[in-house]
Amino acid sequence: MAEDKKDIKKNARQFIISLFGFLVLSVILFFIFGRFLTNQSYDFLTSKIGGIEKTPHPDIQLVLIDENSLMYGEKKLGLGRWPWGRNIYSNILEFMHLEGEPKSILFDIIFSEVDRTAGNDEIFQQGVAASGKVFQNILLTYDDERKEINPLPKDLKSLFAVSIENSENIGFKKVEVNDYTIPLPCLRLYVECGTSEQILKEYPVDNLEKIAKELAVASFYPDSDGYYRRGRMLFNYNENYFLSFSLAAVMSFSEKNKTIKIIDKQKIQIGDLEVPVEKDGSYLVNFYPENRILEKSFSMSSILESAIYYAQGKPNEMKVKPKDFANKIVIIGCSAVGCQDLKTTPIAAKMPGPEIHATLISNILQQNHITQVSNTVNIIIVLILVTLCLFFVIMAHNQMIQVGLPVVIFLVTFGISVVAFKTGNLFVPFYLYIAIAFITTGTAFGYRSITEGKEKRKYSKILGNMIDPTIVKEALADLESLKAGSEKEVTPFFSDVAGFSSISEKLTATDLAALLNEYLSAMTLILKKYGGTLDKYIGDAVVGIFGAPVDIENHPLKAAQASLAMIDSLDSLRKEWIKRKAYCEEARAMHFRIGLNTGMAKVGFMGTDELASYTMMGDTVNLAARLEAAAKDYGVHILISETTAKRIENDMSTRLLDQVRVKGKKEGVKIYELLSVKGQGAAWRIKSAKIYEEGFNYYLDKQWSKAIGSLKKSLEIRNREDEAADILIERCEYYSLNPPPDNWDGVFTRTKK
């Protein structure tokens, strides 16, 4: 109990220290990698899961200049290579107004150069003025050589810059630009005149209104990895705010005024519509499944062809009808590779820029927004996860809990984020949570490994000297349980050299040490070979454990096999010593005794924190030690208990020797001599053992003369000494003259250990 309290205090101290460090680390990681991991979470959820299933808004019409359009314009209409002459757009605008008016027509095309054909710009300008629904780009740019800000003309600001209500709440990132370009349809005059102020002199306010219903910004800005995930709603240029194409289209559709409200720096309000934005004013696009918008788009080639059929009076040949654009937001842009307006997004490697505009507009009109968890909530969740993972790693003793529960936390976090996104468009950046929690868990394991490393190395060193090093790792897999100890079935092993005191008196200290090293090394190698654990050396005695700390299948048999192998090994050593004339004559004739028993015992590291030994305790151990000592009296090499004998009876030949009551015990136990592997023993030995057991049974049945006869016959077959038979014959002769009481159980009580 005291040890458990000590471990709890130690783990609690580690937990508190680690928690403080990891909370600081988590906050640092959050701000360093938060954006990246948030983006990766968004990419996965958008591309693999998808939010609430919705189709794009029906009143948004996409018109794309694709590869077919470029070929059609060049080969059928003689428009030449891209870019086309701008007069063709005037024809397109006229076609779109034949059967009703669009809400707005957004040109997602930068007219940055003068048309090569004189008069085309003027024709386009006339078409724009006639339409009154055209949105043009204002391109905000940055010039490294220009240091000052190029001021906007007053009339331009009054017409196209928007007013902001609650402007003091604006926390958007400013557009870092110092110049602008107005791609007017009359760009030729713009180049000739030079500045915007001069253009306005040529085209006063009443004419300037005709060049576009709205000047808005069509630019997108990718994230640092080159992916387009966000669109900006407002652009701040020198404290003048311009609408994005998307927001301008929404305002034209709802026919609200240009007043925009900013709510808590996180939301833009336009009439009844709200647009949630991030701190820098960007909007996280809720992409539709790939090609969902493109399926409803028109190729510009189909419109050009349909316009021709309309002029020819062939309405049945038309693929596109003018009424298809009535009351629609029309976006005209490029999807052909040559137009260089393909963007990399989470759902498509090459998404046309106009499709992103259409998605943004549809999101806003349908109020189909992705709701993001705030940074404050993110930090709180991260801290909770870090605390839980640390708690399970440091405080738990079971490795399944240490590893399993953090994994469960990861899976639950992932599952919640998937369900939240799929059913409610709630974006939970699970990669952020899991990554920080994973780093915490991994580092916590490392920290625990370091703090426990010294202790584990200590026990590893101890075990390395006790058992085969290949199983040390397995033994240390659960260090806490190993230290705590347990009760399990084992086969204790005890061996002792007969007459070693006499041998030691005949040898010098150097020779004695050499003899012991040679003998103990050979015996220990065999012990480990058969999976045994070295408990200790007591002078020449060897104490071992079979079945702990590592479980061994059929450990009684392993112990028996090891014991027989040791007998053979000592025989080889004696032959070698005789050949070398090593040590003394007594040493060259050395033999030892072994005691084995099988049963439950308490095993574990016992001692102090600084000096501990893995050992065993209990009655099972004591009996094995008594059997080793008794082997001397019976003149046998290996003496085993009945429990062990029964466990190995199918594999080993044994001889039932006696039934004794060892010192300190009331119950009698049968003891056996281990003879050999079954089928490999000498025939005379097996036959003698069988007749001996016959005599022993006569002895138990109080048939003294028959018992003596069988025992003497076993001696004749052996043709050598047998102290066990001599002992039993002596007892029979005694009992024949001094009969035991009627309740005699045949058990002989040993009075010495």
Output the DSSP codes for 474-529: HHGGGHHHHHH-EEEEEEEEEEEETTHHHHHHHS-HHHHHHHHHHHHHHHHHHHHH
Residue 105 to residue 329: CA distance in whole angstroms: 6
Same domain for 580 and 450: no
Same domain for 156 and 135: yes
DSSP run (H or E) holding 212? none
Nearest to 285 by CA among 276, 274, 298, 294: 276
Tell me the CATH number at 590: 3.30.70.1230
What is the per-residue pLDDT across 387-416, written as a single tens digit (0 to 9) for each?
777 777 766 666 677 777 788 888 998 999
Cβ-based neighbours of 350, under 8 Å, separated by 6 or more: 337, 342, 343, 344
Same domain for 612 and 502: yes
What is the per-residue pLDDT across 696-743, written as a single tens digit (0 to 9) for each?
999 999 999 999 999 999 999 988 889 999 999 999 999 999 999 988
Residue 636 lies in a domain: yes
Same domain for 353 and 429: no
Residue carrying the six token digits 């009698």? 668
Residues facing 276 on adjacent strands: 267
Residues facing 107 on adjacent strands: 332
Residues facing 606 on adjacent strands: 613
Residue 635 lies in a domain: yes
What is the per-residue pLDDT across 312-348, written as a single tens digit (0 to 9) for each?
999 899 999 999 999 999 999 999 988 888 999 999 9
| 454, 486, 503 - which closes a domain | 454
Looking at residue 338, its pLDDT comes to 82
DSSP run (H or E) holding 631? helix 619-634
On the question of pLDDT at 178 being above 70, the answer is: no
Looking at residue 152, its pLDDT comes to 65
Same domain for 243 and 258: yes
Residue 48 lies in a domain: no
Same domain for 487 and 339: no
On the question of pLDDT at 550 being above 60, the answer is: yes
Q: How far is CA 172 from the centre of its chain?
A: 38
Same domain for 190 and 169: yes
pTM: 0.60
| 431, 454, 477 - which closes a domain | 454
- Sign of the dihedral defined by the CA atoms of residues 495, 498, 500, 501, in that order: positive
CA 438 → CA 12, 333, 387, distances in Å? Answer: 21, 45, 12
Q: How far is CA 680 from the centre of its chain?
A: 55
Residue 103 lies in a domain: yes
Same domain for 153 and 201: yes
Mean pLDDT of all residues in 5-34: 60
Looking at residue 159, its pLDDT comes to 62
Same domain for 707 and 602: yes
Cβ-based neighbours of 261, under 8 Å, separated by 6 or more: 164, 165, 166, 268, 269, 270
Residue 437's pLDDT band, with cuts at 50, 70 and 90, is: confident
Choice among 86-90, 429-433, 608-612 with the minimum mean pLDDT: 608-612
- The tokens describing 621, both together, are 């151990």
Report the largest interatomic distance among the alpha carbons of the chain, rounded to a whole angstrom: 149
Residue 49 lies in a domain: no
Residue 195 lies in a domain: yes
Looking at residue 194, its pLDDT comes to 38
Residue 359 lies in a domain: yes
Number of domains in the chain: 3
Looking at residue 465, its pLDDT comes to 52
Same domain for 538 and 433: no
- The tokens describing 678, both together, are 């079954």
Looking at residue 298, its pLDDT comes to 95
Same domain for 349 and 255: yes
Residue-range definition of the domain harbouring residue 238: 54-369
Same domain for 381 and 348: no
Looking at residue 345, its pLDDT comes to 94
Residue 87 to residue 80: CA distance in whole angstroms: 13
Residue 361 lies in a domain: yes
Cα radius of gyration rounded to whole Å, the chain: 48
DSSP run (H or E) holding 14? helix 2-44
On the question of pLDDT at 515 being above 80, the answer is: yes
On the question of pLDDT at 197 being above 60, the answer is: no
What is the per-residue pLDDT across 125-147, written as a single tens digit (0 to 9) for each?
888 888 989 988 877 766 666 66
Residue 67's pLDDT band, with cuts at 50, 70 and 90, is: very high
User: Beta strands 486-497 and 164-165: pairing type?
Assistant: unpaired
| 339, 369, 399 - which closes a domain | 369
Mean pLDDT of all residues in 676-691: 92
